[in-house]
């Protein structure tokens, strides 16, 4: 089932989850154990992130530098296939513009369709330390909106090359939104302008970047509605888990941590996990009370804190 269908048919708020493929060389058991841990909470869908290739540099014995290009976390499509077909949970495959040609994207959609996966989150991806060379016969999507347009065409059965007897591919499309604005946008209005274009191009719903203060989500939804964006906006949250995240989360995700939460952690860093769970529970309570369609948890493959939060809301599930 598509995410939008889950949302339309839901009798209460939905809790969904986002996982990351294991690092290259690790076993898929890393993922199946996470999914097994989530099964008790009836996840309506699970997102699986996608990662483009990057460069790593190693010094050889002779002092020269070796440059290697590889994907640190391959396997998005395969993992979606396992979760969807072995665990019978709908999956949302993230597809990126960066690092993938339109032709590769089309192939990925065909593969997902064969695997019975009917949900895609269309994402641009972040800047890479490696720019894949694209041959003249190949084409690329620069922004997420370009990818949404490609996906909408495929939903109409329009492939990149005219294919005889081609049929449309039925899938739902989500896009990303940023309650604290995307870091490259000059202001929120600019960001919402492009969000609206993504929706007009065919996106069915929006999942937000993580935020730690619900006021960002609430004012974002209000501004999006005022801008004429009517699709569901699913709030994404992450549970603070380690002291280092006080710096790494704002640096990587361009979001603020509330003063009160930071002060509490500074006062008792040894209680960071409890503080993170407590804060997330109060965020979820506030979001549900404000009528959010559900909550999307960025679990980053550590479910212990997520389970402590979700258990508190088990009557909703
Ligand atoms: P876009 O919608 O393309 O927007 C990027 C910036 O350009 C914005 O500032 C926007 O306002 C502006 N813009 C948009 N369209 C245009 C245009 N046509 N002309 C000029 N400006 C424009 N990253 C990964 O690598 N893998 C993942 O799996 C992944 N999953 C994510 C899931 C969610 C829910 C979120 C919120 C983010 C995810 N990311 C992921 C991170 C994402 O790749 C980055 O945030 C990226 O910088 C922007 O992606 P986007 O799809 O929002 O880009």
CATH of the domain at 59: 3.20.20.220
35-55 residue pLDDT tens: 999 999 999 999 999 998 888
pLDDT at 21: 96
pLDDT at 271: 98
Give the C-alpha separation, 62 to 21, whole Å. Answer: 35
Asked whether the predicted pLDDT for residue 193 surpasses 90, the reply is: yes
Q: Distance, CA 127 to ligand 1 centroid (Å)?
A: 10
Q: Nearest 5°: phi and psi at 145?
A: -60, -35
97-117 residue pLDDT tens: 999 999 999 999 999 999 999
Give the rounded percent of residues in the chain with a pLDDT score beyond 90: 85
Q: Which domain holds residue 142?
A: 3-316
Asked whether the predicted pLDDT for residue 131 surpasses 80, the reply is: no
pLDDT at 60: 85
Q: Distance, CA 61 to ligand 1 centroid (Å)?
A: 40
Give the C-alpha separation, 204 to 278, whole Å. Answer: 32
Q: What is the count of structural domains for the chain?
A: 1
Please report the atom of ligand 1 found closest to the CA of residue 122: 51
Candidate of 177, 194, 255 to mutate for ligand 1, largest count of ligand atoms within 8 Å of Cβ? 194
H helical segments located in 72-213: 76-86, 102-114, 144-155, 188-200
pTM: 0.96
């Amino acid at each position: 089932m598509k995410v939008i269908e889950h949302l339309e048919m839901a009798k209460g708020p939905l809790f969904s989850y986002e996982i990351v493929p294991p690092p290259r060389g690790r076993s898929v058991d890393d993922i199946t154990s996470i999914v097994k841990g989530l099964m008790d909470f009836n996840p309506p869908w699970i997102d699986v992130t996608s990662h483009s290739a990057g460069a790593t540099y190693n010094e050889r014995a002779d002092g020269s530098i070796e440059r290697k290009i590889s994907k640190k976390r391959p396997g998005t499509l395969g993992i979606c296939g396992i979760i969807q077909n072995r665990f019978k949970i709908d999956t949302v495959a993230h597809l990126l513009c960066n690092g993938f040609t339109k032709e590769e994207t089309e192939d990925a959609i065909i593969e997902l369709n064969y695997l019975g996966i009917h949900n895609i989150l269309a994402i641009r991806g972040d800047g890479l330390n490696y720019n894949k060379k694209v041959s003249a016969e190949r084409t690329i999507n620069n922004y997420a909106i370009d990818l949404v347009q490609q996906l909408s065409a495929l939903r109409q059965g329009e492939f990149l090359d005219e294919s005889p007897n081609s049929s449309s591919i039925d899938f739902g499309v989500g896009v990303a939104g940023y309650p604290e604005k995307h870091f490259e946008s000059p202001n929120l209005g600019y960001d919402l302008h492009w969000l609206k274009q993504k929706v007009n191009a065919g996106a069915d719903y929006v999942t937000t970047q993580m935020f730690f203060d619900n006021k960002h989500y609430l004012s974002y939804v209000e501004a999006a509605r005022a801008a004429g964006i009517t699709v569901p906006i699913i709030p994404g949250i992450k549970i603070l888990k380690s002291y280092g995240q006080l710096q790494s989360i704002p640096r990587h995700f361009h979001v603020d941590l509330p003063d009160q939460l930071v002060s509490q952690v500074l006062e008792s860093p040894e209680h960071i996990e409890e503080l993170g769970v407590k804060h997330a529970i109060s965020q979820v309570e506030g979001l549900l009370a404000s009528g959010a369609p559900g909550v999307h948890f960025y679990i980053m493959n550590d479910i212990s804190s997520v389970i402590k939060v979700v258990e508190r809301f088990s009557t909703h599930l």
